[in-house]
């Protein structure tokens, strides 16, 4: 019997999916005191939920001061792209046959995705040589997870997996850390409900959340109300096991890794670009995906911290190898060049179907600019570190159109405004952005005494403020470095290798 047939057979043998899995979810919730269940609004005291969601650092926070340094020099290689790594695991787990992945990001977020796909039937192992090998279950073959899926800090894992489950007749419960539990899931619940999935979420469409998918789901045409690759991907992934054509209309282009990779795995997917730039993406289901060999390029979002570090620390000259430069991701490089940053592309090539180059970055006198809001989706995760670059530039930098930053791991506008003020920068928060008056290259004072930047379980805040410390007078102390491991486990080691 093929693996696909086996998984279908297992499901056919299982009791009614909703009854069985809901009782598993119920077992999970019974392990909490009755008053803690967020599905029982009458029983759940608001105070309990508040206590859970206001935790702003990890269980054992590790504070650290990032000290001023001499020039950064040397060559580094950043870890694999987080978005591509998530999708490699998900699509590999959904394909028929074997998928082999090299360069996978082994950050906590991607490991949450791997654990979830294992819990739904995929076999995922790592060879001694560091290659990841995935035996997929086939589209339609996901099994009900026996316990809640712990998504940790990862919005991408949660929203994309909700898409996958929506068109499988299984029930799953999602839980996450205090940061993830504050983030809005309504943006995926809405289209996936239209396709037929049902949801019971905590107040405001948040985690913990239990959903039941439907098979067959209903194909929809969905116009994205927000520029989000996660929402786009959730609907497209749901479309894989939905008979007919599922269409996503994307007025503002966002990262296109799902489209590229779905095609690479053999899905019947088309992208039509209209005169005004609107993208119409259609996936024909049910799809049959075939295992692939994937090489994950380096993550431009991770490279951004070292690009900015080299630009702001006088005398620096750094080579960052293997940086993915897909147009839908490379906004930070364009903006920093506009600000006068010396960033040269060396050895441009293609890795895993994505444009890649090594970047040689030299210290530069940056100048403030008005950042075009149209570029925001292609650098949505890089604004915290761009604010740091702007804090060292000559003159004023104005960023607008950043509403989405308020619903990331933290409210990245407010949290960065507070952090930069604490380090002595001149910043103003606006409703949809930030205005930064730079020092013209002079060191920021940094944080003093017992003051620590509050990172709010947000890896990008921690890394951005670490970079800010490198050209400061006193250094910058942050309250917790643990969140860095969600996307960039060897960040500090690489920084130390360049500053040694």
Ligand X SMILES: C=C(OP(=O)(O)O)C(=O)O
Cβ–Cβ under 8 Å, residues 66 and 475 = yes
Q: Which two tokens stand for residue 455?
A: 């990172």
Q: Which candidate, 332, 302, 338, 272, places its Cα nearest to that of 464?
A: 302
Among ligand X, ligand S3P, none, what binds residue 409 when CB lies within 5 to 8 Å by partner kind?
ligand X
Distance CA 282, CA 285 (A): 10
Catalytic site includes residue 299 = no
**In 3D, which of 474, 471, 491, 476 has the Cα closest to residue 418?**
476
Q: Which of 88, 487, 490, 499 binds ligand X (CB under 6 A)?
A: 487
Secondary element (H or E) of residue 419: helix 412-422
Backbone angles phi, psi at 166, to 5 degrees: -55, -35
| 37 touches ligand X (CB under 6 A) | no
Any binding-site annotation on 83?
yes
Query: How does 159-194 read in b/e, with b if 16+ C-beta sit within 10 Å?
Result: bbbbbbbbbbbbbbbbbbbbbbbbbebebbbebbeb
Question: In the set 296, 389, 460, 490, which binds ligand X (CB under 6 A)?
Answer: 460
Provide, rounded to whole angstroms, the least separation between the CB of residue 306 and ligand X: 16
Polymer length in residues for the chain: 500
Question: For the chain, first and last CA: distance in Å?
Answer: 57
Beta-strand ranges (E) seen in 153-275 are 171-175, 198-202, 206-212, 221-223, 244-250, 268-273
CB 95 within 8 A of CB 71: no
Place of tokens 């001023």: 68
Distance between CA atoms of residues 94 and 82, nearest Å: 18
**Other beta carbons within 10 Å of 399:** 24
Residue placing its CB nearer to ligand X in the complex, 88 or 247: 88
Nearest to 53 by CA among 254, 208, 163: 208
The residues in 80-139 that bind ligand S3P, with binding defined as CB under 6 A, are 83
Pairwise CA distance, residues 134 & 116, whole Å: 13
The answer to whether 471 contacts ligand S3P (rule: CB under 6 A) is no
Binding flag, residue 380, ligand S3P (CB under 6 A): yes
Residue 487's binding partner out of ligand X, ligand S3P, none, with CB under 5 to 8 Å set by partner kind: ligand X
Closest CB to ligand X among residues 155, 424: 155
Half-sphere exposure of 87 (CA within 13 A, CB side): 29
Does residue 408 bind ligand X (CB under 6 A)? Answer: yes
Size of the site for ligand X (CB under 6 A): 9
Is residue 150 within 8 Å of residue 79, measured between CB atoms? no
Segment near ligand X (CB under 6 A), from 136-144, 154-162, 194-202, 417-425?
A: 154-162
Is 230 one of the annotated binding-site residues? yes
229-240 helix and 155-166 helix, angle to the nearest 10 degrees: 30
Lay out the site mask for ligand X across 361-400 (x = CB under 6 A, - = otherwise).
Answer: --------------------x-------------------
Q: Which is nearer to ligand X, 354 or 409 (CB)?
A: 409
| Per-position x/- string for 233-272, each x denoting binding to ligand S3P as judged by CB under 6 A, each - no binding | x---------------------x-----------------
Residue with tokens 């006088």: 314
Binding status of residue 81 toward ligand X by CB under 6 A: no
CB of 157 to ligand X, least distance (A): 7
The binder of 154, among ligand X, ligand S3P, none, by C-beta within 5 to 8 A per type, is ligand X
Given candidates 256, 259, 299, 409, which one binds ligand X under the rule CB under 6 A?
A: 409
183 is in an annotated binding site: yes
| Given 299, 358, 381, 480, the catalytic residue | 381
Which DSSP state fits 219?
A: P
Task: Choose among ligand X, ligand S3P, none what residue 479 binds, the Cβ cut-off being 5 to 8 Å by kind.
Answer: none
* Residue selected from 404, 458, 479, 480 as contacting ligand S3P according to rule CB under 6 A: 404
Q: Detail the residues annotated as belonging to a binding site.
A: 82-83, 87, 155, 183, 228, 230, 381, 408, 412, 460
Which residues are near ligand X by CB under 6 A? 109, 154-156, 381, 408-409, 460, 487
Pick out the residues of the known binding site for phosphoenolpyruvate.
82, 155, 183, 230, 412, 460
Residue positions annotated with a catalytic role = 381
- Which residues contact ligand S3P by CB under 6 A? 83, 156, 228-230, 233, 255, 380-381, 404
């Amino acid at each position: 019997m093929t693996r696909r047939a086996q998984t279908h057979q297992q499901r056919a043998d299982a009791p009614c999916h909703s009854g069985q899995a809901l009782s598993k979810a119920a077992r999970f919730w019974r392990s909490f005191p009755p008053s803690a269940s967020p599905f029982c609004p009458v029983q759940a005291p608001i105070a309990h939920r508040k206590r859970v969601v206001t935790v702003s650092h990890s269980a054992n926070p590790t504070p650290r001061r990032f000290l001023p340094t001499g020039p950064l020099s040397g060559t580094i290689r950043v870890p694999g792209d987080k978005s591509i790594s998530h999708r490699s695991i998900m699509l590999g787990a959904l394909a028929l046959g074997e998928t082999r992945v090299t360069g996978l990001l082994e950050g906590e977020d991607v490991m949450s995705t791997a654990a979830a796909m294992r819990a739904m039937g995929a076999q995922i192992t790592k060879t001694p040589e560091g290659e990841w090998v995935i035996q997929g279950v086939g589209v339609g073959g996901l099994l009900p997870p026996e316990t809640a899926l712990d998504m940790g800090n990862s919005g991408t894992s949660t929203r994309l997996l909700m898409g996958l489950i929506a068109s499988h007749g299984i029930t799953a419960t999602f839980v996450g850390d205090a940061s993830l539990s504050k983030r809005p899931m309504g943006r995926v619940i809405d289209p996936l409900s239209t396709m037929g999935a049902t949801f019971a979420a905590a107040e405001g469409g948040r985690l913990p959340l239990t959903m039941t998918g439907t098979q067959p789901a209903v194909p929809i045409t969905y116009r994205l109300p927000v520029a989000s690759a996660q929402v786009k991907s959730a609907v497209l992934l749901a479309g894989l096991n939905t008979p007919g054509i599922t269409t996503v209309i994307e007025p503002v282009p966002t990262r296109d890794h799902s489209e590229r990779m779905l095609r690479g795995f053999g899905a019947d997917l088309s992208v039509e670009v209209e005169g005004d730039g609107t993208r119409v993406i259609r996936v024909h289901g049910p799809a049959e995906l075939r295992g692939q060999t994937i090489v994950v390029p380096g993550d431009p979002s991770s490279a951004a911290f070292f690009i900015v570090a080299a630009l702001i620390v006088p005398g620096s000259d750094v080579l960052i190898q293997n940086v993915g430069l897909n147009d839908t991701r490379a906004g930070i490089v364009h903006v920093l060049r506009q600000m006068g940053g010396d960033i040269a592309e060396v050895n441009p090539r293609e890795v895993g179907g994505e444009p890649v180059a090594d970047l040689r970055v030299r210290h530069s006198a940056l100048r403030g600019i008005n950042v075009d809001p149209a570029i925001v989706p292609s650098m949505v995760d890089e604004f915290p570190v761009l604010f740091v670059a702007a804090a060292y530039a000559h003159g004023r930098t104005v960023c607008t159109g950043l509403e989405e930053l308020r619903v990331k791991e933290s409210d990245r506008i407010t949290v960065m405004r507070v952090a930069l003020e604490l380090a002595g920068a001149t910043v103003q928060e606006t409703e949809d952005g930030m205005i930064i008056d730079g020092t013209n290259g002079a060191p920021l004072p940094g944080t003093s005494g017992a003051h620590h930047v509050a990172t709010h379980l947000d890896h990008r805040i921690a890394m951005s403020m670490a970079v800010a410390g490198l050209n400061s007078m006193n250094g910058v102390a942050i309250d917790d470095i643990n969140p860095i491991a969600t996307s960039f486990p060897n960040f500090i080691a690489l920084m130390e290798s360049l500053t040694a």
